[in-house]
Structure 1
Amino acid sequence: MAENQAAASSSATVATTLGNSVIPLVNKLQDIFAQLGSESTIELPQVAVVGSQSSGKSSVLEALVGRDFLPRGNGICTRRPLVLQLEQRKGKADGRDQEWGEFLHLPGRKFFDFDEIRKEIQAETDREAGGNKGVSDKQIRLKIFSPNVLDITLVDLPGLTKVPVGDQPSDIEARIRTMIMSYIKRQSCLIIAVTPANSDLANSDALQMAGIADPNGHRTIGVITKLDIMDRGTDARNFLLGKVIPLRLGYVGVVNRCQEDILRSKSIKDALIAEEKFFSSLRVYNDLAEHCGVPQLAKKLNQILVQHIKTVLPGLKLRIGEALASVAKEHASYGEITESKASQVALLLNILSKYSEAFCSTIEGKNETMSTTELSGGARINYIFQNIFVKSLEDVDPCEDLTDDDIRLAIKNAAGLKSAMFVPEVPFEVLVRRQIARLLDPSLQCARFIYDDLIKMSRRCMVSELERFPALRKRMDEVVGIFLRQGLEPAETMIGHIVEMEMDFINTAHPNFVGGSKAVEMAVQQIKSDGIAAPIASKKDTGDPQKLLNTTRSLKSQTIPGMQINGIFPEQGVRPVVDVPKTALAVNRVGSAWGIPSIFGKHHDKCTSVGECSTSQVFNEPVHNPERGFSNMIRLRQPPSVLKPSETHSDQEAIEITVTKLLLTSYYDIVRKKIEDSVPKAIMHFLVNRTKRELHNVFIQKLYRDNLLEEILQEPEEISIKRKRTTNTLRILEEALRTLDEFPVEVGTVEGGYRLSTDPTGLPEIHRLPFPAR
């Protein structure tokens, strides 16, 4: 044991004089963040050792520590990442040095026997990765205290392998590469790329991966092992000088114990003596003392790590500060433990008030957390009113789903037994009510859209305290849902009344309604522009539109009570009865009273007019003459069950249809504008503004009850766990910030990266940049 301690002391003596208080503070940070385990996202400066399987990584680490403590054997030995933290401790007052190790997974237990440390590493590896060469990315953290080590943290990573063995999966190479890359890609990590000298440096897996993770070479140190077993006549001089593959931080050559030496229990002291003898005895390495030997590697690592810490320190402070602010915010959301009834009442009132204020602020667009990626709150409600509801109504054709045949049938049905001389009022009102009724569904849909949006808005109004009380959150959602439904019902009822009022009274006296002869004039002009003749005065006319217009104007000038002009009655009364000239009723001596020639074989010569023939004389003619038989009798075809007019439109019907469409469009537009204005007002009054005014009071009525306090303010167990976790994290981050304040280095002018100077020691210098010009 004494020999090992002496050997370790000699390996660290060269570098201990360069020890700096910076690295112990980093190690202290490692201890602090180790308490967080996998929850820690802070990247602390560390050194990762990368190399292919059996490249000599473990031997390099043991040489730096000065003790045998890593698993050895054939094949892959390092199967889990080993985070090795070395901490220099003073020897005891009696002069005896004391060394021990501690594992994070076994807190409080000290291992003074390094063989036991090796066994524990092997056992912990098997527990996680299995006993048959399996690999795991779960760390093993080991801390070694010794007066013979430099303060440094190293990570021994599994060696790169290509052929799976044992329980290793077929993609073992890809998995190990991914694991290694997750460490060395961090800007806070220095890379020790270990390559055996008896292999081709150009094909080094370690240098290849380091080149990917650190393309500028600011963080990579090359270590060349097994120089003593190179082919005779070859040497690694050009490798060490960086003439084959240049590295900014250069190379260090080492000679470690081989497997035979380990089996023969060759001490590290003897190995270091043999290494020194090897380099001094070969003339090719005589002048490369600063590039050769484990002591030089320790010295170089120490200095590079100190400078690397200076580089990453500002960013480290920033990240820890950001993490502290984030955790503090999360911790505040869990609040303090409330036990007394008074504090529970105050807390409940505070939550209800904050929620109601947040809801109103969201609607009014004053919420501090409003979205910048989409419309929300009141802006979304306004969009539904203007861009969905109003625009949809304006895009609807007033005569949609109303064909010309529908209009023609309505006019004929309204005329009853008589043929309509002008467009009657009844079909216009029937058709316009039918179109107005179509406005009800989109109006109700608009109210439902606003209701749904208010429900979603209420669920997005997250008050931080509500995360602590899911029962309260559930009750509040229920209250809001019921309250909004109670507002939706009168809004829908009011919308129904609005549409019904418009259907109940067709106000043709509205100043914006196109009625009277104006609609006929517009129809005539429209048909005239389409080249369609549309007579209306008489079927004997040729369909001259001008005659129709003159007839309309003539009718308009008459003051016959009850005369209907294009569907509008100036006065309420009976339809006009126009005197029929008596000559029109003159009966031909050989005809009937209606001017129809008699087909029954008898003549009434004495009857010269309707007035001269009695009713009995007109209708006493027998139905048929038995003497003549039925050969000349005219038989009518049976009328169909569904009777429709002819498919061809007369000129008069074309005018009537066009006029009706103009009247429908005019009145529909009047009603549509009223609906576009009234429906949003009804929704805002009964639903939106009512919620803003009364939501807080409803919460008080429904939830502010003594018998509910214990139930709705009950914290789930996970909230208590999260509060404890964030409390612990806060303590750790605050301690880390205090530790950072103890760093004695000035970092204002440090740039990331190093360069080799002309210093004979070969140690890197920090780039120092001038202050930028202003």
Structure 2
Amino acid sequence: MKSGLWDNMRKMVTLIDDLRDCGVQDYIKLPRICVVGMQSAGKSSLLENICGLDFLPRGDGVVTRRPLKLRLVHIQERLQPWAIFKEVPEKKFTDFTKVREEIDRLTDAKAGQKKNILPDPIELTIWSPDCPDLTIIDLPGITLIPLRDSDQPDNIEEITLNMCKRYCEDERTIILCVMPASQDITTQRSLKLARQLDPDGMRTIGVITKIDIMGEGSDASKVLLNEEVKLRLGYIGVKNRSQQDIINKVPVQKALRQEEDYFANDPRYAGIPQDILGTRALTEKLTTVLYQHIRKCLPDIIKEIDTKADECEDKLKLLGTELPRDQKDKVQLVFNLLQDYTDGFKNTMDGKYDKNEATITDEEKKIELTGGAKIKQMFNELYQEYADEKYHVTDCYLDKDIELADQLHQGDSIPGFPSFDSFLYLIVPQVQALIRPAQDVLDQIFQYMDEISQQILRKVFTRFPSVLDEISEMSRKVIESQRAKAEQVVINQIDAEMNYIYTNDEEYLTTKADLVFKQNTKTVDPKKILVRELRNRVDLYYKILIRNLRDSIPKYIGYYLVKQTLDKMQLVLYDQMNKSDNVFQMLEEVNTLLFINSSLSTSSKKDNNNKKR
């Protein structure tokens, strides 16, 4: 590989490794390689070949029982390789037999000693002059049947498949699909899974292991030449150490030389391109593909870092500065927070622009009206059905009901003239029925204002949950007090309409003659005339009343509940605070929020440092 290209690759891989060192992988998915395959496909031996070291556990059945996040760091100097586990960062391993023992210990500590498989990863970093710069995750092999006398559940196949899927479904992950040459690749679940997760084949490399133990007269040339199941990135054939080699403790470096000799001298692979044979070819392929993959993903990664940094800054602004120690400063802090709350509440209800809430996504543009616009929408719906031209309040009365009203209240008046008491008898119940809809609208607006108030309070007082409940109760009492005043005024208004009948409406006064029923025939039923006249008078007066109430009740609610609440809230809360020493004594940040504040500050610094790179 040309030195210039190699240097560029190292720079790209080093950049991603630097991001990992900064902890970016905790927030943003970074390019990596995941090794998937059936149980005993040769994944562990393949990883040892890539690393050039003998360090992975061996045994019968399932050996890899927790994912191993393996970060390989190539060092230029010919130093002795060393390894460090994330779970024991203070210990540096130079004896890789001890590394194998530590992997076994960490596996048993979480998964137990009875072959259970868990998704919690072991994280290991190896520095060596013989390994490439790669980050590889070795996943437990896809297991079809649970081992006898083990802790493996009956659905072990589903568990191992889902684990592979969870690690490999990210588009920034390169899938290294390991399959033994001794088995038909069309039956490999690992290859099927890879094709499901990567249907375009842009990030899947096939690796054919155990080529040296294929039967007489057979070879893997068709698979390697991509003639059976096509993969865009193709296949690489490798020869791992055999079980006898492992028993004889053949060093990995010697096994790699034997692999080169094998492919160079076996006539079955004499015509196969050398760049798809052997561990060295695989390492170069992985490095090249990873380099190209990083170049493709890097613009999006930078964009996500910028977004994450901005989010952290916004959250830090929301949490505010450190809690003051001096009592006077605490008082000032609370008053400032109350000012933020009342300003936010008022701005929301008035529909004013708030720069702190000005980030609107396409989804948020589709949401319903808020604040004062929402309240006006509720007002518009008040008595809306009664205001329809086709609505007649007396439709609920039969003619005989109106006749009965006249008979009951005729008294000593001259027959044939509608009694005023009859009019009251018919109109008053209908006016009384208007109280409940007005109270419903009042309750809706009260609940909506309380909801908005509580949302803003939770946001402003996020740091101080111990104080939040008390201040929330104070603010709710202000709204409740104004609700009670608004309700009394609304009821009084409707009571006045019931108990004092009067109108100056020109239409009503000028159309009195039209209210009398006209009949062209010579025979006229006096009762029908009376019924029609009463019916028309009640309908027309009711329409006037509805028109008036649809204007006046929103004004009363808007003034006594909405405006008076906004005008009084800050003053009342300030007064309550001055009387309550308890609030200032409770003004302590919870440990969780202190931790969040610290974490966000650290995260923000990391992201800003990464943005400068």
Deviation at 1:516, TM superposition (A): 9.0
Q: Is the 8 A contact 1:358 1:367 kept in 2?
A: no
Deviation at 1:283, TM superposition (A): 2.3
Choose which of 200, 223, 242 in structure 1 pairs with 2:207.
223
2:139 matches 1:178: no
SS of alignment partner, residue 308 of structure 2: helix
Deviation at 1:226, TM superposition (A): 1.0
SS of alignment partner, residue 154 of structure 2: coil
Choose which of 364, 383, 394 in structure 1 pairs with 2:377.
383
2:244 matches 1:260: yes
Deviation at 1:44, TM superposition (A): 1.2
2:191 matches 1:207: yes
2:143 matches 1:161: yes
Name 2:541's counterpart in structure 1. Answer: 667
Deviation at 1:737, TM superposition (A): 3.7
Residue 113 of structure 1 aligns with an amino acid whose one-letter code is D
Q: Is the 8 A contact 2:209 2:238 kept in 1?
A: yes
Name 2:55's counterpart in structure 1. Answer: 69
Q: Distance in 1 between matches of 2:265 and 2:468?
A: 80
Name 1:319's counterpart in structure 2. Answer: 304
More helix by share: 2
Deviations 1:434-469 (A, max 9, x none): 433333333333323322222122123257431112
Q: Distance in 2 between matches of 1:122 and 1:392?
A: 79
Name 1:493's counterpart in structure 2. Answer: 488
Q: Distance in 2 between matches of 1:129 and 1:516?
A: 91
Describe the shift of the 1:199–1:352 C-alpha distance in structure 2 as closer, same or farther (beyond 3 A): same
Deviations 1:364-411 (A, max 9, x none): 222544863112211111111112334456586322543333322222
Name 1:27's counterpart in structure 2. Answer: 17
Describe the shift of the 1:516–1:239 C-alpha distance in structure 2 as closer, same or farther (beyond 3 A): closer
Name 2:264's counterpart in structure 1. Answer: 280
Name 1:188's counterpart in structure 2. Answer: 172
Describe the shift of the 1:673–1:18 C-alpha distance in structure 2 as closer, same or farther (beyond 3 A): closer
Deviation at 1:50, TM superposition (A): 1.4
Describe the shift of the 1:69–1:655 C-alpha distance in structure 2 as closer, same or farther (beyond 3 A): same
Residue 109 of structure 1 aligns with an amino acid whose one-letter code is K
Q: Distance in 2 between matches of 1:725 and 1:428?
A: 74
Name 1:290's counterpart in structure 2. Answer: 275
SS of alignment partner, residue 374 of structure 1: coil
Name 2:445's counterpart in structure 1. Answer: 450
Q: Distance in 2 between matches of 1:284 and 1:252?
A: 15
Name 2:44's counterpart in structure 1. Answer: 58
Deviation at 1:20, TM superposition (A): 2.3
Residue 155 of structure 1 aligns with an amino acid whose one-letter code is I
Q: Is the 8 A contact 1:16 1:150 kept in 2?
A: no
Name 1:198's counterpart in structure 2. Answer: 182
Name 1:579's counterpart in structure 2. Answer: none
Q: Distance in 2 between matches of 1:506 and 1:60?
A: 96
Describe the shift of the 1:81–1:501 C-alpha distance in structure 2 as closer, same or farther (beyond 3 A): same
Q: Distance in 2 between matches of 1:163 and 1:450?
A: 61
Q: Which structure has the bigger radius of gyration?
A: 1
Q: Distance in 2 between matches of 1:219 and 1:516?
A: 84
Deviation at 1:82, TM superposition (A): 0.3
SS of alignment partner, residue 496 of structure 2: helix
Describe the shift of the 1:341–1:181 C-alpha distance in structure 2 as closer, same or farther (beyond 3 A): same
Matches within 5 A, 1:148-547: 148-165=130-147, 166-287=150-271, 288-338=273-323, 339-368=325-354, 369=357, 372=365, 373-392=367-386, 394=388, 397-416=392-411, 420-462=415-457, 464-507=459-502, 511-513=506-508, 518-519=513-514, 521=516, 523-525=517-519, 544-545=523-524
Residue 23 of structure 1 aligns with an amino acid whose one-letter code is V
Deviation at 1:705, TM superposition (A): 5.3
Deviation at 1:18, TM superposition (A): 8.8
Q: Is the 8 A contact 1:49 1:192 kept in 2?
A: yes
Describe the shift of the 1:122–1:736 C-alpha distance in structure 2 as closer, same or farther (beyond 3 A): farther
Deviation at 1:430, TM superposition (A): 3.5
Shifted more, 428-437 versus 72-81: the winner is 428-437
Deviation at 1:520, TM superposition (A): 5.8
Residue 523 of structure 2 aligns with an amino acid whose one-letter code is D
SS of alignment partner, residue 108 of structure 1: strand
Describe the shift of the 1:449–1:213 C-alpha distance in structure 2 as closer, same or farther (beyond 3 A): closer
Q: Given the two structures, how large is their TM-score scaled by the length of structure 1?
A: 0.72
Describe the shift of the 1:237–1:482 C-alpha distance in structure 2 as closer, same or farther (beyond 3 A): same
Name 2:361's counterpart in structure 1. Answer: none
Q: Is the 8 A contact 2:331 2:584 kept in 1?
A: no
Shifted more, 474-483 versus 189-198: the winner is 474-483
Q: Given the two structures, how large is their TM-score scaled by the length of structure 2?
A: 0.90
Q: Is the 8 A contact 1:26 1:44 kept in 2?
A: yes
Describe the shift of the 1:417–1:709 C-alpha distance in structure 2 as closer, same or farther (beyond 3 A): closer
Q: Is the 8 A contact 2:77 2:129 kept in 1?
A: yes
Shifted more, 65-74 versus 417-426: the winner is 417-426
Name 1:80's counterpart in structure 2. Answer: 66
2:554 matches 1:680: yes
Q: Distance in 2 between matches of 1:397 and 1:506?
A: 19
Q: Distance in 2 between matches of 1:247 and 1:473?
A: 59
Describe the shift of the 1:508–1:361 C-alpha distance in structure 2 as closer, same or farther (beyond 3 A): closer
Q: Is the 8 A contact 1:443 1:495 kept in 2?
A: yes
Choose which of 67, 90, 103 in structure 2 pairs with 1:108.
90
Q: Distance in 1 between matches of 2:553 and 2:260?
A: 95
Deviation at 1:517, TM superposition (A): 6.7
Q: Which structure would you say has the larger RCO, counting Cα contacts within 8 Å and 6 or more residues apart? A: 1
Residue 74 of structure 1 aligns with an amino acid whose one-letter code is D
Deviation at 1:476, TM superposition (A): 2.8
Q: Distance in 2 between matches of 1:694 and 1:517?
A: 48
RMSD: 2.7
Describe the shift of the 1:421–1:32 C-alpha distance in structure 2 as closer, same or farther (beyond 3 A): closer
Q: Distance in 1 between matches of 2:465 and 2:89?
A: 37
Describe the shift of the 1:417–1:21 C-alpha distance in structure 2 as closer, same or farther (beyond 3 A): closer
Residue 61 of structure 1 aligns with an amino acid whose one-letter code is L
Q: Is the 8 A contact 2:340 2:460 kept in 1?
A: no
Q: Distance in 1 between matches of 2:11 and 2:428?
A: 91
Describe the shift of the 1:66–1:446 C-alpha distance in structure 2 as closer, same or farther (beyond 3 A): closer
Q: Is the 8 A contact 1:324 1:730 kept in 2?
A: yes
Deviation at 1:30, TM superposition (A): 2.5
